[in-house]
Structure formats: C-alpha cells, structure tokens
Amino acid sequence: MVQKNWTVVTEFYFSDFPQFENGSLFLFIPLLFIYIFIIVGNFMIFFAVWLDPRLHNPMYNFISMFSFLEIWYTTVTIPKMLSNLVSEQKSISFIGCLLQMYFFHSLGVTEALILTVMAIDRYIAICNPLRYAIIMTPRLCVQLSTGSCIFGFLMLLPEIVWISTLPFCGPNQIHQLFCDFEPVLLLACTDTSMILVEDVIHAVSIMTSVSIISLSYFRIITVILRIPSGESRQKAFSTCAAHITIFLLFFGSVTLMYLHFSVTFPPLLDKAIALMFAVLAPLFNPIIYSLRNRDMKDAIQKMFNVLG
C-alpha cells in the first residue's frame, strides 16, 4: 500500500486580486462606497418598516426581512474583498473559507425563499383579494419567514460538512473573488466529479424557486390586464414592479453564476459575473424599494424627521 505524503492546506490565497501598488486603491474606494450604501440603504428600509405602523403588513414585512438579509449577505464577502485589495497577504484560513461559503450560500438560499414567499403573497393579494387577510395572517407570515431561515441554513450544512472532510494538499490558490463551491472543490486532492452532482442540486433548487415565482407573476399580470380601471391597473402594476425587478436581478445573476454547468467562462467574465452576483445586485435593492415606492419614501422621510 502506497502512502501519499500530502501537505495539508490550512489556508487559501486569492491570487487574482491586484497588488496595492498596481492600482488596487482605485477598486477599493468605489467598492467601499458601494458597501456603505448597501448597509445604510437596507438599514433605512428595515427601520422605516419597523417604525411606521402603516407598513406593518405582510408585503413590507417581507421586504424588511429581505433588506436585513442583504446586509449580512454582503457583509460575508465584501469586507474580505476590501481587505484583499489593500493587504499583501490575500489569504483566508480553511475554516474561514468554509464559513464564508456556508453563510454566503445560506443567506442566498434564504433570500431566494423570501422572494418566493413575496411572489406568493402578491399572488394572493391580487388574484384572491377577498381572502387575503384570512390567508396571510401575522402568524403565517412569521412561520414563512422563520421557515425560510431555518431551511436556508440547514440546506447547506451537509454540503459544507462534506467539503470539510475532503483532502486539500495544494495548490491553494482560489481563482475567484471569494470562497465558492466550484473554485474550492477544484483544489481538492480527490475525485471532483461530485461538482456535477452539486451543480444539479443547485439547478433543481434554483429552478424550483424561479418556476414558482414566474408562474405567480404570470398569473398576476394576467389578472392585472383584466382590470377595467386604468388607475387601478397602474397601481397594481407599480406594486409588483419592484418585486419583479429584484427577482430578475437576483435570479438573473444566480443563473449566470451557477447554471452554466460545464461551460467555462473567460476568467475576467467569470469575475464580472461574481461581482454582479455578490455586489451589484444587492446595490440595487435599496434603490428600487426606496425610489419606486411612495409608501417607503414617505416612511423613510418620516423616520428622518423623527431622528432630526
């Protein structure tokens, strides 16, 4: 029996970040401002809903929860990206990498479930308005929110535990902006055919959410187009426009990131897609929900008046 002398990898290096003297500061400053905007914007939405009794309904409760998740979703990756842009040691420990993957994807799955719940909520509100208050009770809203969080954080646990048992013996350079399943699994000193199985699992979960949301909004749009009053139709469309935009941004970037299977993107395009997925899509959440929603704008203004 031949014994393999493997050197156990204890940390990974992000090899594709530029050095500080090579202009990384020009990337650091805009990324820092984007991160601050995401945090401040989503906290504004969260507290505006919490402080304004007029927004204490299922739709805005789900929006505030989505905004709260976005804060932590971006905090898992962007601060480390900022650190890698200004530090010489662009490394992350093995445990740190596992934790980053776990929280990033758990929060992402939870967000996907919340978006699915929001689509169902709008479907009931527009397609079955007389029974909306009976169906979407505060208790059910709490159960749906809690269930989304529990399922989101339990779903990824077996995958992370499995990755933690794999042997990593070098190389240890991650060719991505953050720790992600495929770039890390490619570094494992074992058969990586499980990547395809993992892709199928991700595809099924993503397509399930996309199908439910798409069918809900297709039915919603069909019902809205039948509304005789132009003003009522416009109001119904404006209610769903923000949700549909966020849905397209979120799942559009998810699809590009995780549903390409064996298709290999050029390294620069691959990182651009990762940046859109982890940074740019969350950037538009506070913009869309605050600028395109009159009730939210009024609540934010009221919050500033109280604080002032």
Write the pLDDT tens digit of every residue in 104-130.
999 999 999 999 999 999 999 888 889
Residues of the chain with pLDDT > 90: what percent? Answer: 35
Q: Is pLDDT above 90 for 77?
A: yes
Q: How many CB atoms lie within 10 A of CB 245?
A: 16
Write the pLDDT tens digit of every residue in 252-278.
888 888 776 556 677 778 888 888 889
Please give the CATH superfamily to which domain 11-298 belongs: Rhodopsin 7-helix transmembrane proteins (1.20.1070.10)
Q: Is pLDDT above 50 for 62?
A: yes
Lowest mean pLDDT among 102-106, 136-140, 166-170, 302-306: 302-306
8 or 71, greater pLDDT: 71
Q: How far is CA 6 from CA 54, 93, 167, 170, 171, in A?
A: 62, 18, 9, 8, 11
- Quote the pLDDT of residue 7: 59
Asked if 272 contacts 180 with a C-beta cutoff of 8 angstroms, the reply is no
- Quote the pLDDT of residue 209: 87
Write the pLDDT tens digit of every residue in 196-209.
777 777 778 888 88
pLDDT band with cut points at 50, 70 and 90 for residue 98: very high
Looking at this protein, which amino acid is placed at residue 44? M
Contacts 24+ apart (CB under 8 A), 23-31: 24/85, 24/86, 25/85, 25/86, 27/85, 28/82, 28/85, 28/86, 31/78, 31/81, 31/82, 31/85, 31/279
Compute the average pLDDT of residues 53-64. Answer: 91
Write the pLDDT tens digit of every residue in 1-46.
444 555 577 889 987 776 655 667 788 899 999 999 999 999 999 9
- Quote the pLDDT of residue 308: 62
DSSP-based three-state secondary structure for 186: coil
- Quote the pLDDT of residue 135: 93
Write the pLDDT tens digit of every residue in 209-228.
889 999 999 998 888 888 77
- Quote the pLDDT of residue 188: 87
Lowest mean pLDDT among 50-64, 181-195, 214-228: 181-195
Compute the average pLDDT of residues 167-186. Answer: 87
- Quote the pLDDT of residue 134: 93
- Quote the pLDDT of residue 306: 72
Compute the average pLDDT of residues 55-76. Answer: 94
pLDDT band with cut points at 50, 70 and 90 for residue 73: very high
Domain boundaries, the chain: 11-298
pTM value is: 0.89
Asked if 300 contacts 203 with a C-beta cutoff of 8 angstroms, the reply is no
Mean pLDDT score of the chain, rounded to an integer? 85
